[in-house]
Amino acid sequence: MTPEVPPLMSLEAITKVYGTGDAEVRALDGVDLAIAEKEFVAIMGPSGSGKSTAMNVLGCLDAPSDGHYRFMGVDVGALSLDQRALLRRNYIGFVFQGYNLLARTSALENVELPLIYKGISAAERRAQAMEALAKVGLEGREHHDPSQLSGGQQQRVAIARAIVGRPAVIMADEPTGNLDTARSREIMELLTRFNRDDGMTIVMVTHEADMADYADRLVHFVDGRIDSDVTQQRAA
């Protein structure tokens, strides 16, 4: 028999509590979730459902109050702050709704930034950043700063920055929230391509059902718990 492949990420009885006493809020309430390598998972739910908190735990941006989070089989809760920072730096790329680009800094320099923290030489950083920008269709825009780029182009720069280190997983938090329909579809097609062609796992929080249709799995949160978890046919 072929041994079972462990999930890339797994939440086991995860609870996240904010406040105490009458002010206590259980943002996550005993969540179990396993995400396999190369999956494209969309997470949805109403405001306050726990979807963003789950994203923060999966991205090692926040620690749970109870339960275990394992990344590639490693218990993240047993890692030091520095070790968790290294995990994020080496294995996870982030894309946010607000782009989070440095103003008055070129697209190329924004994409290079994660590589600086990895100690990669200037020449290699530049080559990898140029390659990442080409992959998102921004040849010729390398020296434009964010104010000279459209919203869709800024999000492309953000995606290039997320993929430049060749992460195992991209965490995308409302990546199309600030974009019109046409630009949103372009961004989703990019994420789909990196998932399909480069084998990157995608975990995306969204409130837009038509964007969630690009994923092959939809997890719906309600009141800090998973209400449904279904496999779906991807949008063409």
Tokens of 142: 């390398």
Domain boundaries, the chain: 9-231
In eight-state DSSP terms, residue 6 is P
Compute the distance between CA of residue 220 and CA of residue 236 in angstroms, rounded to an integer. 22
Look up tokens 């920055």; give the residue.
Answer: 161
CA 102, 118, 36, 227 dihedral sign is: negative
> Where residue 236 falls among pLDDT bands split at 50, 70, 90?
low
pLDDT single digits (tens) 138-172: 999 999 999 999 999 999 999 999 999 999 999 99
Query: What is the tens place of the pLDDT at every residue in 192-218?
Result: 999 999 999 999 999 999 999 999 999
Residue 44: which pLDDT band, with cuts at 50, 70 and 90? very high
- Mean pLDDT, range 7-31, rounded to an integer: 93
Q: Answer whether 91's CB lies under 8 Å from 168's CB.
A: yes
pLDDT at 113 over 60: yes
CA atoms within 13 A on the CB side of 95: 31
Mean pLDDT of the chain: 94
Instruction: List pLDDT tens digits, range 116-127.
Output: 988 899 999 999
Question: Taking a C-beta distance cutoff of 8 angstroms, is the pair 12, 67 a contact?
Answer: yes
Alpha helices for 75-223 (secondary structure H): 81-91, 107-117, 122-135, 151-163, 181-198, 209-212
* Cβ contacts of 181-184, under 8 Å, gap ≥ 24: 183/150, 183/151, 183/152, 183/155, 184/208, 184/211
For the cut 80, the answer to whether the pLDDT of residue 61 exceeds it is yes
How many helices (H) and strands (E) in the chain? Answer: 7, 10
In DSSP terms, 59 is beta-bridged to: none
The C-alpha atoms of residue 143 and residue 20 are separated, in whole angstroms, by 49
Give the pLDDT of residue 3.
59
Domain 9-231 has CATH 3.40.50.300: yes
